[in-house]
Structure 1
Amino acid sequence: MNSNDFIAKIAPAAIRDWQSSGVSAALTIAQAILESNWGTSALAKRANNLFGIKGTGSAGSISMPTKEYRGRVSFTVNAAFRKYKSWDESVTDHTRLLLNKRYEQALRRPGREAARRVAAAGYATDPNYANKLIALMDKYDLYQYDAEMGEEPMTAEEKKQFEALKETVKKQAERIAELEKRAEFKMPDWAKEAVKAAVNYDKKHPLIQSPVQGSYDFYRLITIMYRRGLFNKSDAG
């Protein structure tokens, strides 16, 4: 899987969670790239864990060696990491983790700022963590995925208002379509005799001109009038 394919696979879930929770999509994608080495790490392959989150996941846990830092000195230890059934579950759990109070300062922040705040909150012990994330965002223009849904996600109230507006627009569109349909309604066979009688009622003063088109209600009214004998050729003056 090349870089474009990896990003394309992760982006929909990242954008979804940016819209619903305020976790930057650019941050999510950059962390997935960095933590999983583009999905090629043993943890990503064996546990569908893209973010190096420790603990127990939906499919249990797996013990793996990991590099940690004490200051700028690195060392390797074994740790239990969360195991998932899919990458989508991994993205969802990453969002859930960042909704924790510890990372709240990173929420509703664009990519660069979110990266700095997540690093400052101690997501990783690597002192260059934020810079590495931002470098990935810059190189692959990951900021576009935050812009996908606007600079900031909608609040719950804004989403409610937006859904109400969409419903109103939908109803208006249906009403307009119905009116246009009626305006373009062609003369039905059952109305032809009545329309002809109305047109020929009086050559000098016909009841109606010869309409090319009329509404359903128009043809219905003319037909009822005709069938009730409200205009007949014999009545013409």
Structure 2
Amino acid sequence: MKSLEFIGKLAPIAVEDMRRYGIPASLTIAQAILESNWGESGLTQKANNLFGIKGSGPAGSVWMPTTEYRGQDRYATTAQFRKYNNWSESVADHTRLILNGTKDKPTRYHGVLWEDYKTAATAIWKGGYATDPKYPQKLISIIETYDLQQYDLQGEVKEEDIVKLEALSAEVQRLQKQVHQLTENEAVQKQLLTKQESQINLMQNTLQSLQRLHTQPAVPTWADPPLQAAIAAGVIQDKQGSYDFYRMMTVLYRLGLFNASK
């Protein structure tokens, strides 16, 4: 399969996952290129497995020879790999692996989320995805050679989102002062202040993410209650915003920020 055809087939799926979950599209495409040899590997041909994920998949499994590393030493072995019905299943499984990690460490690959491609390439390797010590540099080289980082850029942040985030930050600061005035118990006061400070950090991180990624979908069903509560609390004026903005509002809602006493 030609390189442009391969990238063109995977890019829309990778970009959609990036918008929803924060997995850099460039990383997803580069891993698929490296692990599947542009879709020409025996594993991809036999099992639609683009990412070399081991175990049993929706269509069963296949046993394939593979190369592993112990430190700098290479050795050949045979392993069981997941089999899929199509490439879309393979990409979806790759996304689940990054989001859910493993039973012993669910956050194993969370270092890639909402990061630039260089940080993500190193984080996926440190999480244990591959044993090859040159794995991060191989991914970075592929990304830069084929300009895959372009798929990580989804336009500029809208001014209205920045204004809303600034308003939320001001509201958090107001609530901090209110908690300080109303709470006499020192232990409870420290706990609430810490919680509010975490909200400021969350919003700052979200703003940085919005500056890299931006999309403006319709309001998801799960985001409607948080937005209604925020409007009722006078924090925002309308529901319009980006997907990342809806996620942030949902987090604040679940933390009880809009139910705080005024």
- With the length of structure 2 as denominator, give the TM-score of the two structures: 0.59
CA deviation string 1:163-189 (max 9, x = no partner): 9438xxxxxxxxxxxxxxxxxxxxxxx
Aligned position for 1:227: none
One-letter amino acid matched to 2:56: T
Is the 8 Å Cα contact of residues 65 and 77 (structure 2) preserved in structure 1? yes
User: Does residue 143 of structure 2 align to residue 140 of structure 1?
Assistant: no
Find the aligned partners of 1:17 and 1:50 in 2 and give their Cα distance.
16
The residue that corresponds to 2:240 in the other structure is 165
Q: In structure 2, what is the equivalent of residue 84 of structure 1? A: 84
1:149 deviation in Å?
6.3
Query: Cα gap change, 1:149/1:26 in structure 2, threshold over 3 Å: closer, same or farther?
Result: farther
Q: Are the aligned partners of 2:154 and 2:214 in contact in 1 as well (CA < 8 Å)?
A: no
What is the rounded CA distance, in whole Å, between the counterparts of 2:54 and 2:38 in structure 1?
A: 19
Structure 2 residue runs without a partner (length 5+):
102-106, 157-211, 228-237, 242-262
- 2:121 is aligned, of 108, 115, 138, to 115
CA distance in 2: counterparts of 1:89 and 1:69, whole angstroms: 28
Instruction: Say whether 1:129 aligns with 2:135.
Output: yes
Amino acid at match of 1:80: Q
1-side partners of 2:149 and 2:91: how far apart?
18
Per-residue deviation, 1:112: 1.3
Report deviation, 1:111: 1.2
Quick one: structure 1 residues 23 and 155, their matched pair in 2 at CA, closer, same or farther if it must change by over 3 Å? farther
SS in 2 for 1:165: coil
**Contact between 2:26 and 2:151, CA under 8 Å: does it hold in 1?**
yes
Match of 1:47 in 2: 47
Report % sequence identity.
50
Q: Is the 8 A contact 2:7 2:29 kept in 1?
A: yes
Structure 1: which 4+ aligned runs deviate by more than 2 Å?
152-156, 158-161, 163-166
RMSD, aligned α-carbons? 2.4
Describe the superposition over 1:87-129 as per-residue Cα deviations: whole angstroms up to 9, x where unpaired.
Answer: 1110110011011211111111121111011111111000000
Structure-2 change in CA distance of 1:149 and 1:47 (3 Å):
farther
Q: CA deviation at 1:68?
A: 0.3
The letter for the 2-side match of 1:152 is: L
Considering only CA atoms, is the larger Rg found in Structure 1 or Structure 2?
A: 1
Q: What is the Cα deviation at residue 7 of structure 1?
A: 0.3
Q: Give ranges in structure 1 of 5+ residues lacking alignment.
A: 167-237
TM-score w.r.t. the length of structure 1 is 0.65
Aligned residues: 165
Matched, 1:102 2:108: yes
2-structure distance, mates of 1:33, 1:12: 15
Higher relative contact order (CA 8 A, sep 6+): 1
